[in-house]
Amino acid sequence: MSELHIHNSLSRQKEIFKPINLGHIGMYVCGPTVYSDVHLGNIRTFISFDVIYRYLIHLGYKVRYVRNITDVGHLVGDLDTGEDKIAERAKLEDLEPMEVVQKYTNGFHQMMDIFNVLPPSIEPRATGHIIEQIEMVQKILDNNLAYVKNGSVYFDTIKFHKKYESYGKLSGRIIDKLFSETRDLKNQKEKRNPADFAIWMKADDRHLMKWNSPWSVGFPGWHLECSAMSTKYLGEHFDIHGGGNDLKFPHHENEVAQNIGACGCAPAKYWLHSNMLLMNGRKMSKSDGNTITPHQLFTGESEHITKGYSPMVIRFFLMQAHYRSTIDISDEALSAAEKGYKKLIEANRYLQQIHHEGSSVENELDIQIKESISSVFDELNDDFNTPKALARLFELVPIINSYKNGKREFQDFTATTMAELKQCFRDVLMNIMGLLDETSSQGNNLYSSLDGVMQLVLELRQKARYNKDWTTSDKIRDALAKENILVKDGKEGTSWSLN
């Protein structure tokens, strides 16, 4: 079998993967900013890295996977000025900032469960690592690569670039252009040059989330948490750093600068960037309303789709694109994915229950099946190419189905080849791609069954309300709330969602 090659954003090439410490891998992926429900775009990124994590485990590595929760410092507009996204939401929803964080962290975890995404080994929060972040700012200051201005601390990108000649290397930004760009920002005057960025920000009186520091009562810059937490849990130099490619600049570029600025060495050996989920040809994004919620996808309550799709069909749909390619969500594509998912899962279900005596000698079919199995893993070794690996699996389906249809004898190949075939399907579909067999004989999925039950419950509650039987209607609502099911009464009727 071939060796694992991964595309490193740093070199812009595929490289043979060699871990820093034999048998071990440290991997850090930027997690969500928990100020709103995750959309399918966010979910795509976490599923992409889930498959990478699962494949590395499959290859026998002991992986420490760190995926953070951003709960402070990420400002509206991703800039160095403006309101914190969490605090803004807290005001809007009349909640404590930490209530916002808890609410959307719970929602995020629930979605990760629904899509069968494995939890990371460590899930650190930015607010739990303020001390580490302050220490990192101090180190950068001690190394003379940052300066204090009115209680805020800015990273000095010009000094850094003069010393290391590496600012812009990861994102491929032209340095001179960056350094000459001027933006009309409030605190731009405090910066020595426009490319500098805040690593500590002084908070004004209205600011909700702030901590004491040697420079001011304030809060850390958005990029700092990932530098501090990856160093704490994976060391100064670790194997893989990942995230969506929209984070390459400024977030990851600044992370690299901070790590080098603090300890003199680049954080990650390999940088992996996953591509964006599109809808109608545009990036799925909250800020311009181009989103579809998982709930809408499951129930079909959206103008963009004609029916609901199950979480595993959606996961399968995402597997059909390489993680570095964009993927455009549409009704036709989901509908095709539904067919493909069923075909493969049903073939697997049949395969796993075959009792196979087999022939005693290998023949041509043995060789053909073994070559196909090997090519499935060659594709995965080629920068985790899930669409091509799936295509190779599909090539094996007619062989499985020919037995199902009684067109072939089991004696056509050996029991060893059959065992390898079973193992390959189990490993690739279930363990690596993380697909569950959710198709029942009626082809229903769990979520739509739940929706069916919920429609009945809501109807009973509606009846109770009509009869002014408030005890029953409240009892139903409270019982659902206990199960984290939120009932919303609106002008167009009552709807439900997972809280």
CA 357, 350, 314, 120 dihedral sign is negative
Report the 10 Å Cβ neighbour count for 160. 24
CA distance 435 to 420: 19
Pick the closer one to Zn ion by CB: 149 or 248: 248
Smallest gap from Cβ 252 to Zn ion, in A, equals 7
Stretch touching Zn ion by CB under 5 A, among 28-36, 40-48, 165-173, 382-390 = 28-36
Nearer to ligand AMP, 285 or 330 (CB): 285
Instruction: Give Cβ neighbours of residue 380 (< 8 Å, ≥ 6 apart).
Output: 55, 386, 389, 428, 432
- What's the 3-state SS for 307-349? CCCCHHHHHHHHHCCCCCCCEEECHHHHHHHHHHHHHHHHHHH
Q: Are 267 and 256 in contact (CB under 8 A)?
A: yes
Cβ of residue 468: shortest distance to Zn ion, in angstroms?
52
- Considering only residues 223 to 282 of the shown chain, the ones binding Zn ion according to CB under 5 A are 226
- Picked from ligand AMP, Zn ion, none, the partner binding residue 277 (CB below 5 to 8 A depending on kind) is ligand AMP
Q: Give me the least distance between CB of 291 and ligand AMP, in Å please.
A: 8
State whether residue 240 is helix, strand or coil: strand
Please state the closest distance from residue 55 (CB atom) to ligand AMP, in A: 19
47 binds, among ligand AMP, Zn ion, none (CB under 5 to 8 A by kind): none
- Would you count residue 30 as binding Zn ion (CB under 5 A)? yes
Q: Is residue 136 a contact residue for Zn ion (CB under 5 A)?
A: no
State which residue, 32 or 124, has the beta carbon closest to ligand AMP: 32
Q: Considering CB distances under 5 to 8 angstroms, the limit depending on partner class, which of Zn ion, ligand AMP, none binds residue 439?
A: none
CA distances from 466 to 166, 212, 304 (A): 68, 55, 33
Residue 208's identity, in one-letter code, is L
Backbone φ and ψ of 308, nearest 5°? -85, 155
Q: How many CB atoms lie within 10 A of CB 496?
A: 18
What residue ranges bind ligand AMP (CB under 6 A)? 30, 32-33, 41-42, 44-45, 70, 243-244, 246-247, 276-277, 283-285
**Per CB under 5 A, 432 contacts Zn ion:** no
Taking the complex as a whole, the smallest distance from the CB of residue 226 to Zn ion amounts, in Å, to 3
- The option from ligand AMP, Zn ion, none interacting with 414 (CB < 5 to 8 A, set by class) reads none
CB of residue 217 vs ligand AMP: minimum separation in angstroms?
25
Comparing C-alpha atoms, which of 79, 77, 102, 76 is closest to residue 87? 76
Residues within the interface to Zn ion (CB under 5 A): 30, 226
